[in-house]
Structure formats: structure tokens, C-alpha cells
Amino acid sequence: MDKVRVSIIGATGYAGVELVRILALHPEVEIVGITSDSYEGKSIQEVFPHLRPLGHRLPPKLLGHQADEALKEADVIFTSLPHGHAMGIARKVVEAGKYMIDLGADFRLKDAGSYRAWYGLEHACPDLLERAVYGLPEVRRDEIRRLGEKAGGIVANPGCYPTSVILGLAPLARSGLAPKRGIIVDSKSGVSGAGRGVSLKTHFCEVNENISAYSVGGTHRHVPEIERELSSLAGENVTISFTPHLCSMIRGILSTIYVPMDSTSPPVPEPRHGDRHQLGEYLRDSTVAASELEYRILELYRDFYKDAPFIDVLGTGNAASGAEAGTSQRADIQGPPEAPETKDVLGSNLCRIGLKFDSRTSTLVVVSVIDNLVKGAAGQAVQNMNVLMGFPETEGLSPVPIYP
């Protein structure tokens, strides 16, 4: 079988160069074009010496973004550009029967009005906006696969924050346990999430030994993306209160998500046995009952992600043991009692999720961590390509983080 020929438009930002590294090592891929307006004419190894060992697998020179060769020779075009740029080439890609995987924001929202409201631009191709598939494989794998059966199309790679938040909440939303209002999301990101461009806010003296909140009050552009996906999963409108923070680290996102759950919440399904219990019964009961609820939710997550190779749902310290629950089958759910950390996923395409039920406040606390440049950007784009082209979903992607 011939290798898939790919081009990368915008390869010298942090996400773009990570994409080059991953694709150059992919056994089913041939990179036929790499572009950068800033470094046109240079080799990418000149710009990024860490890629020198991969030189034999890379084109000799960086092209400009408008170079037709980058589009003409490729089957799949990855775009890693600021918002407003990818939509300028999207129609040309689709009409040529090729696939575009956009790591930017141009195709994440489904209507031109929302795009205008949140990004301040008129969308150049609203008809393609409606047809693009949201590229979160754990939730939309079948849609991505069906797109691969068509002659051309667009996959909108999710944002980094939305990836961590949606994966942290998807099982609850799908099961009807996510409340329509009241979910609080506190997300913290490394500085690479702000991009490679020079700015005062990412200057060393500004970010070192510092953490700062920004886009406070639900004004971050990722809010509509998160709410749209959660609402789609839930079958009703779900709103969140989302506050991102910039942290003094290079990579990683940690999202702590607070989900209110009370006696009016719907039943929690029991995946193994099919019986259902009202949350209120547990909330009014003892600590053992709370741990039983925690176990039920843990199993709900594991069942939802049972076919997701890059999702790691941790066991919890409070989850009911076999003796407490009256069945030996439950002894195997014990795992690390601590919440996941960003170092747990560094350099990998993993999303690691920890769950804890706070019985005192009737709140489920979900902690979701990703590497913002891999699962939050380049790795997820390659995962989407794998699904799109019919490759094993894990092909060319490392599930093993770097440590320390």
C-alpha cells in the first residue's frame, strides 16, 4: 500500500513543528511539503536543529504558505495557522478531492454567526463550516471515519482547552448526568499554548514564578466550542463557567472541573448490571454510600472510554472495594488515589482523567490532563488522520509519556 502523502501548512509554530516530528516518524506517511512564510527557503533542520536526525524524511526546503506544490502533491493537508487563514485555502483543498485537518479555529464552530461573534471575522466559506467534522475521535470517531469514505473534506482539530474539558465531561453529558448549568471549569496551561510569537505576556520575566487568570467571565473563544459539544452529547443546552490560567511551565493543561450533583440529578447507570439508583439515595447516606456513587461514576467513565486507546481513567481512593460492594469483581478498580498531573502525560497523546466525589458539597470533581501540543494539537491531528485514512488509531503516536 502506498504511503499517504501529507503537507503541513504553517510548520514553524510550536504545534506545527511537533506535527512535523510526529509525522516524520509515522510509518504510513510521506511528507511532501512543509511551509513557513517566516523561514521560506531554509531547511526546517536549520530552524529546528532537534529535527536533524529526521532530515532524510523531510523536504529539503520550506515553502511559502501560498505555494501550490504543498497542496498539489498531498493527499492530506494539515493547516497550523492563526484563525482566519486556513479558510482561505479550504475550498481549493476540498474541490481537489483532498482532506484538510485544520489545527486552527476556522472550522470548529458550526455557523458563521458564531464564528463572527467570537473571532471577529466573516467566514469565507460558511457552507464548508457546516460540513466540517469536529475532530475529537473519542466522541466523533464514526463521523471522521465516514468522512474518509468521501472524496475530500475537512476535519476541525479541537482546541487544547476544549480537548481536556470535553473529554473530562463527555461520559456525564452523554448519560444525562451533566447539569445544564453550574459546571465550573478551572484550566491551567503551559506557556507554549500561547504560541511561539513574541509578546509581553509570555516574556520570561512576566511568566516565570507566576500564574495568571485571563479571559475571565466566560469570554474565552473556546467557550462556545466546549458548550456546543457538551450540548450535542447531552441533547440539551449545557453552559459552563470557564476560566483559563497561564502557568510558569512549558507544556501541559490541567483542567479541574466541578460538577454539582444533588438529589434532583438523574439516575447513575450501572454498566455491568444494568440497575439504576437515584443519586439522592447516596447523598443522604453514609461515606460508604458516597464511595459507591464514586464507583458507579468511575465505571461509567471506563465503559464510555473502553475503546479509546488514549484515555486513561484512574481508579480512586474512595471507590468501593469488593468487600464493601458485596462483589469480588470490584476489587480491581483500585488505583492511584492522587489526581493526575501534567507530567503524567508529557510528550504523549494521552488524556488522563481522575474522579473524586465530594460528598460534603455533593460535587463531582473531575481532573483531566493532556499535553497541549500533542493530544491538544499535533498528536490529535495525527490521530484524526489515522481514523480518516483507515490506519490503526494509535499508529505513529506514543502512549508513553516522557519522565521526569
For the annotated catalytic residues, the residue numbers are: 160
Distance CA 147, CA 282 (A): 44
Distance CA 188, CA 248 (A): 10
Distance CA 352, CA 345 (A): 7
All cell numbers assigned to 351: 488524556
All cell numbers assigned to 312: 486513561
φ/ψ region of 4 (left if φ > 0, alpha if ψ in -120 to 50, else beta) reads beta
Distance CA 260, CA 361 (A): 8
- According to the 3-state scheme, what is the secondary structure of the chain? CCCEEEEEECCCCHHHHHHHHHHHCCCCEEEEEEECCCCCCCCHHHHCHHHHHHHHHCCCCCECCCCHHHHHCCCEEEECCCCCCCHHHHHHHHHCCCEEEECCCCCCCCCHHHHHHHHCCCCCCHHHHHHCEECCHHHHHHHHHHHCCCCCEEEECCCHHHHHHHHHHHHHHHHCCCCCCCEEEEEEECHHHHCCCCCHHHCHHHHCCCEEECCCCCCCCCHHHHHHHHHHHHCCCCCEEEEEEEECCCCCEEEEEEEECCCCCCCEECCCCCCEECHHHHHCCCHHHHHHHHHHHHHHHHHHCCCCCCEEECCCCCCCCHHHHCCHHHHHHCCCCCCCCHHHCCCCCCEEEEEEEECCCCEEEEEEEECCCHHHHHHHHHHHHHHHHCCCCCCCCCCCCCCC
Return the closest-CA partner of residue 134 out of 110, 115, 114, 150: 110
Strands 363-370 and 311-313: unpaired
Strands 99-102 and 76-79: parallel
